[in-house]
């Protein structure tokens, strides 16, 4: 049995950790990996996590630089399918067009399946019919060597089973990401955010998406071998009302991620989605260490 590999956010495999201690906290310290957030960061690209298992490449979010990261990871964009979208903040879908078009140019033969919250279809349709329609028509009709347009199939989902193959299955949970902010009720109803749970014979990987501690996160992370958890600020960066409000309502930070993982009985905690930082990163590690043995790798 080949163990799944988890790439882009950080690189870790079940096989690497199974023989080690039970508790680990792994923080993506490598340069130019997909562990950043919306603020441009020369050290990190936008949120994107790839699970490779049994010849399949499952991509979760398509942040800034994702296609470049796929190439660096040795994965041709045409080999990626399906794509799972957690929510519609631009740092998570900013390069969705690049995945769609580069996979087509790279020889994708099958329809690219995209799963995401309600309104994902509207976004993809806008990309295909209003923004890149001329590009698609140019290559479709003017460059026959490409072999003609290959479609995209969007499925809008909520909590529950999402998709499965003979070797794995993916389910989703609703997570809380800014729902307590002063947003109009009509907008809040449209603001659907998801986390995902990947299960196979080798184990379970949970991907929090953007969230604070909530019931949905606990359900998707329960007893997971790996939890890829957003962690925007280190403890030391939570210094005023703005950052306290962010940590409470919008994005989990160093003050809660270890507790989340411990409560869900997670084996390996992988932190991602960092605000640009340098030495303050150590504060995240220090805090996580209250609940976890630490393994750092780059
Ligand atoms: Zn977000």
**Domains in the chain: boundaries:** 5-289
Interatomic CA distance for residues 257 and 233, integer angstroms: 11
Q: Rounded to the nearest whole angstrom, what is the distance from the C-alpha of residue 148 to the centroid of ligand 1?
A: 35
Res 288: pLDDT? 56
Alpha-carbon torsion 251, 255, 258, 263, what sign? negative
Q: Rounded to the nearest whole angstrom, what is the distance from the C-alpha of residue 291 to the centroid of ligand 1?
A: 26
pTM of the model: 0.89
Q: Rounded to the nearest whole angstrom, what is the distance from the C-alpha of residue 220 to the centroid of ligand 1?
A: 18
Q: Rounded to the nearest whole angstrom, what is the distance from the C-alpha of residue 210 to the centroid of ligand 1?
A: 5
Res 282: pLDDT? 54
Instruction: Tell me the C-alpha to C-alpha distance, in Å, between residue 160 and each of 56, 157, 170, 192.
Output: 21, 8, 9, 14
Interatomic CA distance for residues 282 and 273, integer angstroms: 15
Give the DSSP H or E segment for 225.
Answer: none
233: closest CA among 216, 220, 250?
250
Q: Rounded to the nearest whole angstrom, what is the distance from the C-alpha of residue 146 to the centroid of ligand 1?
A: 35
Res 237: pLDDT? 86
Q: Rounded to the nearest whole angstrom, what is the distance from the C-alpha of residue 141 to the centroid of ligand 1?
A: 37
Q: Rounded to the nearest whole angstrom, what is the distance from the C-alpha of residue 151 to the centroid of ligand 1?
A: 27
Interatomic CA distance for residues 74 and 20, integer angstroms: 27
Q: What architecture does CATH give domain 5-289?
A: 4-Layer Sandwich (3.60)
pLDDT tens by residue, the chain, 298 residues? 344 555 444 433 333 333 333 334 444 433 345 677 888 877 778 888 888 888 899 999 999 889 988 888 788 999 999 999 999 999 999 999 999 999 999 999 999 999 999 999 999 999 999 999 999 999 999 999 999 999 999 999 999 999 999 999 999 999 999 999 999 999 999 999 999 999 998 889 999 999 999 999 999 999 998 898 898 888 788 899 999 999 999 999 988 888 898 899 988 888 888 887 765 565 555 555 454 444 443 3
| CB proximity list for 148: less than 8 A, separation 6 or greater | 140
Question: Active site residue: 41, 45, 61, 91, which one?
Answer: 91
Q: Rounded to the nearest whole angstrom, what is the distance from the C-alpha of residue 241 to the centroid of ligand 1?
A: 19
Res 2: pLDDT? 44
Q: Rounded to the nearest whole angstrom, what is the distance from the C-alpha of residue 32 to the centroid of ligand 1?
A: 20
Q: Rounded to the nearest whole angstrom, what is the distance from the C-alpha of residue 261 to the centroid of ligand 1?
A: 20
Res 284: pLDDT? 59
Res 16: pLDDT? 34
Give catalytic status of residue 225 as yes or no: no
């Amino acid at each position: 049995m080949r163990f799944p590999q988890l790439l882009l956010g950080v690189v870790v495999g079940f096989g690497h950790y199974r023989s080690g201690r039970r508790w680990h906290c792994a923080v993506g310290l490598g340069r130019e990996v997909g562990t950043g957030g919306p603020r441009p960061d020369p050290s990190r690209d936008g949120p994107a996590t790839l699970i490779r298992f049994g010849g399949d490449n499952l991509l979760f979010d398509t942040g800034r630089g994702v296609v470049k990261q796929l190439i660096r990871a040795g994965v041709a964009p045409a080999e990626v399918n399906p794509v799972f979208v957690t929510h519609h903040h631009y740092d998570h879908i900013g390069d969705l067009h690049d995945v769609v078009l580069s996979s087509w140019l790279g020889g994708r033969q099958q329809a690219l399946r995209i799963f995401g919250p309600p309104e994902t279809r509207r976004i993809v349709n806008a990309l295909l019919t209003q923004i890149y329609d001329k590009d698609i028509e140019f290559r479709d009709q003017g460059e026959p060597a490409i072999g003609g347009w290959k479609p995209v199939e969007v499925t809008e989902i909520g909590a529950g089973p999402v998709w499965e193959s003979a070797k794995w299955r993916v389910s989703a949970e609703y997570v809380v990401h800014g729902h307590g902010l002063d947003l109009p009720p009509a907008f809040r109803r449209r603001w659907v955010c998801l986390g995902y749970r990947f299960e196979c014979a080798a184990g379970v990987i949970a991907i929090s998406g953007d969230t604070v501690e909530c019931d949905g996160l606990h359900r998707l992370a329960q007893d997971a071998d790996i939890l890829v958890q957003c962690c925007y600020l280190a403890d030391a960066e939570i210094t005023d009302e703005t950052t306290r409000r962010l940590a409470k309502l919008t994005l989990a930070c160093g003050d809660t991620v270890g507790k989340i993982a411990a409560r869900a009985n997670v084996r390996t905690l992988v932190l991602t989605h960092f605000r640009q930082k340098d030495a303050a990163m150590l504060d995240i590690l220090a805090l996580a260490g209250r609940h976890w043995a630490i393994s750092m790798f780059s």
